[in-house]
Amino acid sequence: MAICGYKCSLCMFVISLWGVIQLLIMGVLFYAEAPALLEDLPEEPASKTEEFMTIVHRGYRDNAFNCFIASCLYLVTLGVSGWQFYLNQKTTYQV
């Protein structure tokens, strides 16, 4: 049962693959607490240095888990689009 066409499923497959790779890399970088991603953390006021560091560590961890969750969702989309691509490729060769 094909839901979308050949070109649409191929486009969704490529975009999903790109999303999985990008979000996995970003998740690993957030988990490693890369300084370049400090600007992407939520801003919360802190009165002490220890409190600020706790907020920063929690922000990095939360963003890393959010990236991993989004990557899993893109993985589901990758599977569906690959399945659709396979179905459409199979039907184009029938005579």
Q: What average pLDDT does the structure give for the chain?
A: 91
First to last CA, the chain: 18
pLDDT, tens digit (0-9, with 9 covering 90-100), for 24-45? 999 999 999 999 998 988 888 8
The pTM of this model reads 0.84
pLDDT, tens digit (0-9, with 9 covering 90-100), for 49-71? 899 999 999 999 999 999 999 99
Which pLDDT belongs to residue 47?
85
Over pLDDT 90: what percentage of the chain? Answer: 72
Give CA–CA dist 5/89, Å, rounded: 10
**What three-state secondary structure class fits 74?**
helix
- Residue 94 pLDDT more than 60? no
